[in-house]
Amino acid sequence: MFQTSSPHKRHASMSAQGMIALGFAALIAIVAFLLMLPASSNACTWTDPLTALFTATSAVCVTGLVVVDTATHWSLFGRCVLLCAIQIGGLGVMTVMALIAMMLGRRIGLRQRTLLVESVATLHLSGVVRLVRRALLGTLILEIIGTLLLSLRFVPMLGLWRGLGYAVFHSISAFCNAGFDLMGPVSGAYSSLESFAGDPLINLTVCALILLGGLGFFVWDDLLENRFRFKRLQLHTRIVLLITPVIVLIPALMFFLFERGASMAGMDLKTRLLASLFSAVTPRTAGFDTVPTGTLSPAGTLLTLLLMLTGGNPGSTAGGAKTTTMLVLLLLAASILRREDDIHVLGRRLPDDLMRRACSIVIVYMTIALTAALMICGAQPALPLPDVLLEVFSAINTVGMSTGVTRQLGVFARLIVILLMYMGRLGSLTFALLIARSPAPSPLRCPEDRILIG
């Protein structure tokens, strides 16, 4: 499990994190330049740099927030650029670079393996190349299956080639938890999947892709390695498999109850059930919606914010603080209430450094999000606070859901959201560690004392 690292290992880890951050920044810059070109827009004109940068960051960081409608503004070339950015951003820059190296027959050295460990968030250095191979193959298979299923709806509706193109785009966007859609010409600009609220094929396929993409590559590898035998799985995998149904079904029931007189008013039972399930799955960093986000009740909006913060699982295409982080905090609170010294889960004791890291992640996420909301409200006081809070949490947790306020943001606010999306894809704690100066190790410890809390 996790152990306290030596100064040398800490330095190596920071170097790997810096390389990953640099890789994402470089990819964002390349995609932004390509989106600025006249060939990327339907009007064949230059796209302004801020719009291109915002869209590029949203695609690479698999967020889904947009300031222009994807299908009506971007040309076929522009959409292909976005699709490549979503795929690379979802898998991770270092993972894709490892794929290219393997295709060229080059050896993956120790330095590259260290980068892959950080990129895919696995527990062990050994077997990381095999994990990457399985992740890439699994991604390809699942996205193909998603494309075939979605084409059953899109091809009859849009024709063969256009329908296949829509199926490919939405399959990759859903699996990578990106939230980009092409429904502008079909059901209106910025409408996401709202015209398919009662369609079981679209709803269940997209939900399955979102959940499978959000499981985490480590979980996939562990399941295959142990042939789905639950007792032989590692602790992380067992926890993920146990909590995933819980944080889908319980929120779905809550949405079903909360939204009956709000966003789901007038829906028949089947549509309301599908919409409730979709509303529970998509805030965990997917970004699609089948009911307009701006019509959610106050309770539904608050539940959406909590699901945004929870996010997906570590080492997946999803963002957020991560499900296991939130679980560790809950277990920590329970252990304090029971006056226990240690945290136990499924017959195992969790190390103290894991608790400190979980607390740090949530505190950093909340601090950054609330500070960003304060700055945006200060710059544009006319914007409603609930809409701003939803926007900043959506950005830093790489969700992509919005009440429509994204397009009302000024230059300063858009730059803040761009930075939030970038931090969210890297992980807010990782970003904070990158910009913080590491103190020199000291052999001395300060004397212990106490303060009053609580």
> In sequence order, which ranges of 61-159 are alpha helices (DSSP H)?
70-73, 76-91, 93-103, 110-120, 128-158
SS3 229: coil
Q: Where are the domains of the chain?
A: 8-291+300-433
Chain-centroid distance, C-alpha 360? 19
**Confidence check: pLDDT of 5 > 60:** no
Q: Using N-to-C axis directions, what is the helix angle for 269-281 and 298-310, rounded to 10°?
A: 40
More confident residue, 211 or 448: 211
User: pLDDT for 143-169, tens place per residue?
Assistant: 999 999 999 999 999 999 999 999 999
Indicate if the alpha-carbon torsion angle 361, 219, 176, 53 is positive or negative: positive
**Confidence check: pLDDT of 450 > 90:** no
- Per the structure block, which two tokens stand in for 97? 């670079």
**Confidence check: pLDDT of 3 > 50:** no
More confident residue, 285 or 431: 285
**Confidence check: pLDDT of 241 > 60:** yes
More confident residue, 357 or 7: 357
Residue with tokens 């990381």: 128
**CA–CA separation, 275 and 200 (whole Å):** 10
Q: Report the percent of the chain where pLDDT is more than 90.
A: 56
- pLDDT level of residue 198 (50, 70, 90 thresholds): very high
- pLDDT level of residue 170 (50, 70, 90 thresholds): very high
Question: SS3 sequence, 151-186?
Answer: HHHHHHHHCHHHHHHHHHHHHHHHHCCCCCCCCHHH
Contact between 205 and 150 under an 8 Å Cβ cutoff? The reply is yes
- pLDDT level of residue 271 (50, 70, 90 thresholds): very high
Calculate mean pLDDT across residues 250-278.
95
**Model pLDDT, residue 14:** 47
DSSP secondary structure string for all residues of 415-450 = HHHHHHHHHHHH-HHHHHHHHSPPPPP-S--PPP--
Amino acid at 389: L
Question: What's the chain's average pLDDT?
Answer: 86
Contact between 119 and 20 under an 8 Å Cβ cutoff? The reply is yes
Amino acid at 96: V
**Model pLDDT, residue 401:** 92
Q: Report the percent of the chain where pLDDT is more than 70.
A: 84
